Amino acid sequence: MVAISIFIILVGLFFLLAGTIGLLRFPDFYTRMHAAGKCDTLGVLLCLIGMALYNGFSLISIKIMFIAVFIFLTSPTATHSIARAAMNCGITPWSKDEEGGRIEG
Amino acid sequence: MISRYESIIITTLCKLLIPVIQLYGLYVIMHGHSSPGGGFQGGVILGASFILLVISHGLDEVKKRMSEKLNTIFCSFGLLIYAGLGVLALIFGGNYLDYGHLPIPVTIAEARYLGILGIEIGVGITVMAVMISIFLDISSVGEQE
Amino acid sequence: MIEYIISKYNYWIYIVLMMIGFYAMISKRNLMKKLIGMTIFQTAIILFYISIGVKRDATIPIVPEHSHEAIKALEYVNPLPHVLMLTAIVVMVSTSGVALALLIMIYKRYKTIEEDEILKLRQEAGA
Amino acid sequence: MREFFLVASMIIGLLVLLTFYRAISGPGLLNRILGVNVIGTKTVIILLLMGFIYGRVDMFVDISMVYAMLNFIATLAAAKYLERKVSI
Amino acid sequence: MDIISIRPLLAVLMGMIGAFFILLAGERHKNIREFSTILASVAKFLLVFSMVPFVFEGKTLVYDLITLAPGLLLEFKVDTFGIFFGVLASFLWIITSIYSIGYMRGLQEHAQTRYFFCFAMALSATMGIAFAGNLLTLFIFYEILTITTYPLVVHKETAEAIKAGRKYLVYTLTGGVTILFSIAFTYHLTGSLDFVGGGFLQDHGSKNVLTLLFITFILGFGVKAAIMPLHEWLPTAMIAPIPVSALLHAVAVVKAGVFGCLRVILYVFGPALLHELDLWWMLAYFVSFTIVVSGIFALVQDNLKVRLAFSTINALSIIILGAALLSPSAVKGGILHIANHGFMKITLFFCAGAIYVKTHKEKVSELDGLARQMPFTMGSFAIGAMGLAGIPPICGFISKWYLCLGALEAHEITFLFVLLISAMLDAAYFFPIIYNSLFKRSQEINPTFNEAPWLILVPMLIAAIISIILGIAPDAFVHFFKMAALIGQNTLH
Amino acid sequence: MSFLITFIHLYVFWILLSGHFDIFHLSLGVICCALVAYGTHDLVLEGLPIDMHTEVIRFIKYLPWLVYQIILANIHVAYLALSPKMPIEPRIIKIKTKLKRDLALVTFANSITLTPGTITVDIKEGVYDVHALSEKVSEDLLSGEMENRVAHIFMED
Amino acid sequence: MRFLNFILVAIAGGILIYSTVDMPPWADPSSPASVHVSPRYIEKTLEETATPNVVTSVLADYRGYDTLGETTVIFTAGMCCILLLRRVSKR
Amino acid sequence: MSHSPILIIIIPLISSFFVPLIGWRKKNLCYPLVVLALFISSILSLYIMGSVITHGSIYYRLGGWEPPWGIEYRIDYLNGFMAVIVSFISFLVAIYSRRSGEQELPDRIVHFYCIFLLLVTGLLGMVVTGDMFNLYVFLEIASLAAYALIAIGEDGALMGSFNYLIMGTIGACFYLLGVGYLYIVTGSLNMNDLSQILPGLYHSRVVRTAFALFIVGLALKMGLFPLHTWLPDAYTHAPSAVSALLASVMSKVSVYIMIRIMFTVFNPYFSIELIPITTMLSWTAGIAILFGEIMAIVQPDLKRMLAYSSVAQIGYIVLGIGLANTMGLTGSLLHVLNHALTKGCLFLGAGAITYRRGTRDIRQLGYLHVEMPFTMAAFTIAALSMIGIPPTCGFFSKYYLILGAIDARQWIWVIILLLSSLLNAIFFFRVIENAYFKPLGVIHESSYDRGEQEEANEVPLGMLIPILALAAAIILTGIFSGKIISTIIQFAIPEGI
Amino acid sequence: MIWQLDLILLLFVVICGIAAISVKDLLSAVILLGLYSFLMCLLWTEMGAVDVAFTEASVGAGIGTVLYIAAVYKTTRRSKD
């Protein structure tokens, strides 16, 4: 059980790392948002599952899963709201063709 | 910041989250004895839930649930619970805030436990009401003249 | 020397933070910046207090409810600074609230929150 | 096992450091919000990991849950701000 | 031999009670207001007078009001010197009250309530100064006197008056502050402030410290006593209405300063200490300078009141000189001169007032031929002037005689000459006025008889007559002479 | 009715949260849940269906699929982020949807957002603006499978 | 002016750092703060207040009066905001 | 009645909770409630003072916990004295605040009263407590209330209040930090406990730094000279009742804390011998006196002048502390009382003048004595007290301060004290001169003409009574200052001085 | 107390504090302040002060930042320094 949970947490950490690197590397705000918000989601989920497994079946684990649920609910909402705000502010998404003309948020 | 959030995603989700957050706030108040938390934290969470409601549903929705008058009453009422418990202890022969002298048929330690619960509730109510009122005041200046 | 640094570094960081806040409070001309500095300043003090309470190899100050062993104080972090700091945080929030209210009033009145501009406006009004 | 959680939390700490670059240098407000949001999510995990390190995870879950619930309020508020005021 | 008696307190309070009723009556009930003024003054005089016998029996009336500070009481002690000053001031208040009523009504002045109120308060304070049992009590009433006379000085409310008021305040408050310092220092040295005949400062503090203390004391009280470099306020303050100048600047205020000086010389430091420190001749030379210079200044003044003011400065310094010589006769003469000068100077001021009320003239040069129009006034003026110059049988002669004797007793011929010169100067600046008013003619003045109203005339004549009586029988009425002798005895051991 | 539903759900949540199962804490829970439910039941159950039972079951069935999708897409995005050339082709695509109810719309939108590589930027009158990171994810989305599944949950197919 | 402020801040910081020399080492279990008053709270909390969370028991009972003050601070802040801002919204 | 120490705090506190509740329905009921609460509180404080005099110090354990663990109220002469001052002056100001409040802030009167009560609660709480941290909490209550109350004043009040907030927060934080520094080396927060532990640690740098932090923090709070910059703006533009309360009471409470910390928590040996703090304090105080008064002379605005005068008067009090001998401290404590009465009276008088005249320009106060005879009489008495004319109380404190300075053989302070008396005279007589002896300036814009002003146009009775009461108190305190010293102040002076 | 985390977090906090007061855009500064409060919360949890961390979490995430944002919303985002 412990080994499984360690493995899951490590995978989660890997996704978190990927997301962070994406956050740093991606060229514009929208793409970064993909990296940040989304890779994280899975990474966090995996970490939480790993910890819940490690903890065994108890109320604590249920609470940890609740945390996961809440993150699943709030994270896309937050992302959506920022994206919407960025769009409303008139930030055009970066695309490969017109690299120079982008406006940063 | 007072009007309803135009995005349906946000309003819907907040609608679902707010009761949960509120219940969580109450949980934090009630279980301050055995786990971290207490009146202030719970009160802030409750207040935050209302702030979330303001952000997502606009001011009117909040006014429906928590009118200015009710808010003021809560502000004072919470503190009255607190100070009143102290006075009650005073009346029943203890020093101020000495919950051991409260007229509850349990041991002194348990009486203190209940006293702590009582004041946590009072603190929670006040903090919630004040947080809402500060936020509403700050964010509604000049918008409803 | 090294040992000295290691044994005190927490206090030093708090001093650095506090000085950042302090500098912002007395030197920034923007009132909002002053408030931000104020928050940092207060938080630094809270950090200092919490640092007082720390004990090596101690756990959080919540004792097990149904344990039959005697509770040893050394095993738990000193709770008193935490209590004090809860109050301090509350004070911090309250002060921020009042300060922000004032800030908004100032903005409504002068249409700016830069201190020097406000002073100029007031001098013009006075002259 | 404590060591593992310690290492895990250190790794996440380093990730936070990386995210910090985004949060502080921006560019612009939105990227900062994004960075802060990401750090907020990571905070939840670090808190839980610390709970495991201390061996008292039952006490730390509550804090994490607060973050999980409330973390997006500030983001929403900022986003709502941006919806109104067009210039950045 | 101390008798605890409430009379001194009542005497002090009487003025305040009068002031209260004056305020109550206000502008609406003028008669009640003025009646209460007179009533209070008479009552006060009677009260003070009733204490005289005790003093002659060698007893002291004492009343401790409250503790101002641990070991420091607000106490009234009626000793010989106190009763001397008290009787003088309270008696002069009566005639001045009558006079001021006439004067104020005659000129239809504004803010009369304030005037009478402050007047009564000032007299109250004067009485407090007279009966003060220690330095702090004295100082308290001294400051009250300053404050209550300030409105009287600026009574006219013109720019000039306000300026004069400012000057008055600056000088007197500075003086007050200096006194405060000296008092605090004395307290620091001795732990006590009670007056003791012959002084209580011996064996406290080093020589230099005591010298400094003496200088600060004299500087402090010297402001009100208008010793020469500090006299500047007095001529300026003559802008005030005549009764004010008369009572306050000729009697109460400046005499309070002199009184303070004498208290310090005789009751705080004491002759022995002053001899030991060789301070007495310093003071004597200092005031001699004032005597001569003020006489010369007076000669060149054209404004009658200012000339009188300089004459006052002169006379005050003579008094202090008497005390400073520290010989029995000199002290006796000096103290007697307080009373004598009071009566004579008030006569002169009343005359000036009468002239002003009738003719609105203030300049010396305008008084030619006035004696025909106002014979009584100018007659009184002549009496006062002669008295000041030391011509018998007017009272000024007696005091000057003893002063001269004192100078001889002290083996200081210099001061004898100073006194003689001052007498000559007095004569020199007063006699031309009399001469001119008698023998010169002027177009402006109507030579028909046209005296001032009786309310003005009567007090003036009373004062003049008393001056003569005191000259003939110095011990008449309240035994001023005997008192002065007693004071000399008590202090000079 | 809506009060009762809210109350029951909240109470379950409360019991899971609270580790104490004595009478005192349970009754506290009743009071708290009643308070919250009283305050918010009209808010929560504004547009909820009558047949809640089925929907919840279907929703729970939907979750594993969603997680699976998330994992797949996540690997893809991780690859995008980590590959040195960074082969991304961001674009905005518009999806016209047949979904009607708010909850369905939101579920779909959040599913899109949760699935890495796509973000719902806006919903306007049944049209989703979705920002997609690469061609692959946009094609996945345009295939309509997710929409159908969501529609199935809320019985709108 | 900025520079002056900087100097001021530096001096203040210098004094504070100077004083850290005499502080007990960080996290020292035998520092005065850990041995004087607080042990009783930890050891007696269950016995005296039946509350396992020491912070809560100290906050609400041992030093309950502080908390009353703290809540009053919040109340004050709320009233202050109302006083400052609400007039505007009422008109 | 054994609970009276706590009752003086919680009666205003609980009333303040009721004020907004009642204010929602009936605005008129707030005022009686406030006055009643403060009245009871002040009577109780008198009672406490009485029992301190008869039975010695009072101890009250909050929550029934013994001192180092729980919070303790410890009321001795110094405390009781301060509590009486605070409660009585706030009671008088509360009476006054009705009419001025109606004019200055008509629509916010309910919350004004609420915060007013909270301010008083905070001040009282600071005074009676025996716990370092509890003091901080009440300090913050009082400060927050003060920020808001200042801010609702006229135009410039906002910036004044904001500056006060920033400076006050720095001050409070320094105080808090000082408490922390003491806590880290002693582990205790109780003042009495600290005073027993600390003597062994006097050579620790931490303790010394803590002391410096306390002094700086409190100096900020009270507006001592180099740190006074917030004070003039705040006092000038605040509503008159508020500036009266702040100037007369709030700064005094900070002074009280300073005395408490210097001489009770630390002992006099430390504060006087070990570190040069008294010298520094007296130098700053000396400069403060001169600076404040010179600044006051050039102010055309009445309240601003009074504010600068406050800076100077704080200097007096601190000078007394800096002299650190019996006489100096006696003068200092007496001046705490005297200045509280006097400045209260002056600010209330200035408020009354503003109430009728609508201007605070000193040059436009002509013929005020006809228009408002009683107010001006009281104002004059207070001004005389400021200058130090006997028998008003201001004289006596000045006298003791001079004695203290002489005792300490520090002639420069003697000179400064004497000089300051004259400087005070300059600016107060400027007011008196204008009010009594100058006709209404031509500059004055309102429609007064000479004929109209002859009518008395006194402020309402509710405003007049506190002013007159304070004026009477000034004289009575002056006359009975010996009594006050021998019954209270001489015991309030900490041992070992 | 976990000193490894402690060091990292202290470093973060200092950086974040400096960033918060040096950013010109006030909204960004406020957001960074929120980040600062997160980090502080972590720091305190790490030191064992769970209740304080809880408070800071709820305040920082729920109230503080939002209040600041509201205030910026009501005033201005521009700042000269």
Domain ranges of chain C: 2-55+76-126
Q: Do chains F and H touch (3 or more CB pairs under 8 A)?
A: no
Q: Among all chains, which residue has been given the structure tokens 């996704």?
A: A15
**Tokens read off for I63:** 């109230």
Are A84 and F122 inside 8 Å of each other by CB?
yes
Q: SS3 of H495, please? A: coil
What is the per-residue pLDDT for E114? Answer: 85
- Mind telling me how many Å the CA of B70 is from chain F's nearest CA? 13
**Mean pLDDT confidence for F115-138:** 80
Crossing angle for the helix pair E135-153 and E112-131, to the nearest 10 degrees: 160
Short-list F145, F93, F146, F151, CA closest to F121:
F93
CA H91/CA H42 separation, integer angstroms: 7
Nearest to I1 among G27, G55, G59 (CB): G27
Residues of B in contact with H18 (CB under 8 A): 76
pLDDT at position E361: 80
Place of tokens 């050394």: C74
- R_g (Cα) of chain H, nearest Å: 22
CB atoms < 10 A from the CB of H477, how many? 24
How far are the Cα atoms of B119, C63, E221, E263, F13 from residue B33, in angstroms, in the given order? Answer: 12, 11, 76, 78, 20
Out of G32, G41, G72, name the one closest to residue H141 (CB). Answer: G72
Which DSSP string corresponds to H120-174?
Answer: HHHHHHHHHB-BHHHHHHHHHHHHHHHHHHHHTSSTTHHHHHHHHHHHHHHHHHH
How far CA E307 is from CA of E304, E346, E425, E429, G37, in Å, comes to 5, 14, 12, 8, 82
**Percentage of chain E lying above the pLDDT 90 cut:** 0
Q: Which residue of D26, D41, D61 is in closest CB contact with A44?
A: D41
User: For B134-138, F129-133, H477-481, which range has the lowest pLDDT when averaged over its residues?
Assistant: F129-133
Phi and psi angles of residue E18, each rounded to the nearest 5 degrees, phi first: -55, -45
pLDDT tens digit string along H103-159?
Answer: 777 778 888 889 999 999 999 999 998 888 999 999 999 999 999 989 888 878 888
DSSP E180-216: HHHHHHHHHHHS--B--TT-S-TTSS-HHHHHHHHHH
Pairing of strands F91-96, E72-78: unpaired
Find the CB nearest H148 among G15, G20, G83.
Answer: G83
Cβ pair I51:G27 closer than 8 A: no
Share of chain B above pLDDT 90, in %: 11
- Residues F25, B30: C-beta atoms closer than 8 Å: yes
Q: Which residues pair with F130 in a beta bridge?
A: F93, F120
Q: Mind listing the pLDDT tens digit for each residue in E315-324?
A: 888 888 888 8
* Inter-chain touch B90–H61, beta carbons under 8 Å: no
What integer pLDDT is reported at residue H440 of this predicted model? 56
Predicted local distance difference test score (pLDDT) of residue B69: 86
In this predicted model, what pLDDT tens digit does every residue of E53-80 receive, in sequence order?
888 888 888 888 787 777 778 888 888 8
**Is-contact G13 C1, C-beta < 8 A?**
no
Whether residue C28 lies within 8 A of chain I, CB to CB, comes out as: yes
* Residues of chain A positioned with their CB less than 8 A from the CB of D28: 29, 104-105
pLDDT range class, residue D86, cuts 50, 70, 90: very low
Which residue type does C118 have? Answer: I
Look up the domain containing E306 and give its range: 279-493
Q: Do C62 and B36 touch (CB under 8 A)?
A: yes
The mean pLDDT value of chain D amounts to 83
Asked if C74 and C61 touch (Cβ cutoff 8 Å), the reply is: no
Contact between chains at B17 and A74 (C-beta distance less than 8 A): yes
> What's the topology of domain C2-55+76-126?
Helix Hairpins (1.10.287)
CA dist., res. I28 & res. D22, Å (int): 12
Residue of chain H with shortest Cα separation from E179: H418
pLDDT average, residue stretch E422-447: 80
**C-beta atoms of G24 and H141 within 8 A:** no
Q: What is the pLDDT along chain C (127 residues), one digit of tens a residue?
A: 777 777 788 888 888 899 999 998 888 888 999 999 999 999 999 989 988 888 888 888 888 877 777 788 888 888 889 999 999 999 999 999 999 999 988 888 888 888 888 888 888 887 6
| pLDDT of A105 higher than 80 | no
CB E383 within 8 A of CB E467: yes
Range of the domain at D49: 2-84
**Which chain G residues contact residue B118 at CB under 8 A?**
none
Chains near G with 3+ CB pairs less than 8 A apart are B, C, H, I
CB burial class (10 A; 0-12, 13-18, 19+) of residue C47? buried
Contacts (Cβ under 8 Å, ≥6 apart) of A54? A1, A2, A5, A6, A9, D1, D52
Is the pLDDT reported for residue H13 higher than 70?
yes
∠ Cα E462 E465 E467 (to 5°): 110
- pLDDT category at H411 given cuts 50, 70, 90 is confident
Test D80 with B35 for CB contact under 8 angstroms. Answer: no
Within an 8 Å CB–CB cutoff, is residue D17 touching chain I?
yes
The span from the CA of H351 to the CA of H357, in Å, is 10
pLDDT over 70 at B145, yes or no? no
Question: Among partner residues B15, B23, B31, which is closest to F13 by beta-carbon distance?
Answer: B23
Percent of chain C with pLDDT over 90: 15
Is the pLDDT assigned to residue H445 strictly greater than 60? Answer: no
D54 touches chain I (CB under 8 A): yes
Closest CA–CA distance from residue F117 to any residue of chain A (Å): 6
Identify the pLDDT of residue H91: 92
> Which chain B residues are within 8 Å of F10, Cβ to Cβ?
19-20, 23
I 10-39 → D contacts, CB under 8 A: 12, 15-16, 19, 25, 27-28, 31-32, 34-35, 38
Q: Residue D82 and residue A23: Cβ atoms within 8 Å?
A: no
Q: Given CB atoms, is D63 within the 8 Å cutoff of chain B?
A: yes
Cβ <8 Å between A77 and B13: yes
Q: CB distance D66–B55 less than 8 Å?
A: no
| Antiparallel, parallel or unpaired: β E60-69 and E2-4 | parallel
pLDDT of residue G35: 85
Q: Is the dihedral of CA A46, A48, A52, A58 positive or negative?
A: negative
Mutation choice for D interface testing from B21, B30, B132 by most D CBs within 10 A: B21
Is residue H55 classed exposed, middle or buried when 0-12, 13-18 and 19+ CB atoms within 10 A define those classes?
Answer: exposed
Answer yes or no: do H64 and B83 touch at CB < 8 A. Answer: no
- Tokens 């100032």 belong to C106
Is pLDDT of E18 > 60?
A: yes
- Interior CA angle at I73 toward I68 and I79, to 5°? 80
- Which residue of C5, C47, C84, C108 to mutate against I (max I Cβ within 10 Å)? C47
- AA letter at E196: V
Shortest Cα distance from C112 to chain H (angstroms)?
12
φ, ψ of residue B28 to 5 degrees: the values are -65, -40
pLDDT tens track for E123-151? 888 888 988 888 888 888 888 888 888 88
Bigger pLDDT: H178 vs F45: H178
Task: Number of helices (H) and strands (E) in chain C: give both, helices first.
Answer: 4, 0
Shortest distance, CA G22 to any CA of chain B (angstroms)? 33
Q: Which pLDDT value is given to residue H1?
A: 67
Q: Which comes out higher in pLDDT, residue E252 or C24?
A: C24
What is the layout of strands, in order, in the sheet containing F127-132?
A: F91-96, F127-132, F118-124
Give the pLDDT confidence score for residue G88 in this predicted structure. Answer: 47
Residue of G nearest to C18 (CA): G13
**What is the CB-side half-sphere exposure of residue H275 using CA atoms within 13 A?**
20
Concatenate the DSSP letters of all residues of E342-407 into one string: HHHHHHHHHHHHHHHHHH---BGGG-TTHHHH-HHHHHHHHHHHHHHHT-TTSHHHHHHHHHHHHH
Neighboring chains of H (3 or more beta-carbon pairs < 8 A): B, C, E, G
What are the start-end ranges of the H helices in chain F? 2-17, 23-44, 52-82, 102-114, 135-142, 145-153
* Opening angle at CA H277, ends H275 and H283, nearest 5: 140
Q: Which chain B residue's Cα is nearest to I50? A: B36
**pLDDT score for E443:** 67
Our CA-based measurement puts residue A2 at a distance from the nearest CA of chain F, in whole angstroms, of: 22
Query: How near does any CA of chain I get to the CA of G85, in Å?
Result: 12
Residue H82 has pLDDT above 70, yes or no: yes
Measure the CA angle with vertex H452, ends H451 and H453; round to 5°.
95
Mean pLDDT across chain B: 85
Q: Among candidates B67, H391, F93, which has minimal Cα distance to E144?
A: H391
Using pLDDT thresholds of 50, 70 and 90, give the confidence band for residue H444. very low
Q: In chain A, pLDDT over 90 holds for what percent of residues? A: 0
Q: Domain limits of chain B?
A: 8-139
Measured CA to CA, the distance from residue I4 to residue B121 in angstroms comes to 38
Which tens digits make up the pLDDT trace of E441-466? 776 666 677 777 788 888 888 888 88
Which of B35, B134, B137 lies closest to C62 in CB terms? B35
Query: Which residues of B fall within a CB distance of 8 Å from G45?
Result: none
- Gap between the Cα atoms of A2 and A50, Å rounded: 9
Helix (H) or strand (E) holding H237: helix H231-237
pLDDT greater than 50 at residue A104: no
Partners of A82 on chain B (C-beta within 8 Å) are: none
Q: Which helix (H) or strand (E) holds E253?
A: helix E253-262
Chain H neighbors of C25, CB-CB under 8 A: 166, 169-170
Q: How far is B15 from chain D (nearest CA, A)?
A: 13
Task: Kindly provide the residue ranges of all beta strands, DSSP E only, lying in E107-187, ordered along the sequence.
Answer: none
Say what percent of chain G tops pLDDT 70: 95
Cα nearest neighbour of E161 on chain H: H437
**Residue F83, burial from CB neighbour count under 10 angstroms (0-12, 13-18, 19+):** exposed
Q: Could you tell me which chain C residue has the CA closest to the CA of H145?
A: C98
Q: Which amino acid is at G11?
A: I
- Give C-chain residues touching I70 at CB under 8 angstroms: 100
CB-CB contact of H401 with H331 (8 Å)? yes
Mean pLDDT for all residues in chain H: 86
Segment G16-70, tens digit of pLDDT:
888 888 888 888 888 888 888 888 888 888 888 888 888 888 888 888 888 999 9
- Tens of pLDDT, residue by residue over E258-306, are 899 888 888 888 888 888 888 888 888 888 888 888 888 888 888 888 8
- 8-state DSSP, H266: S
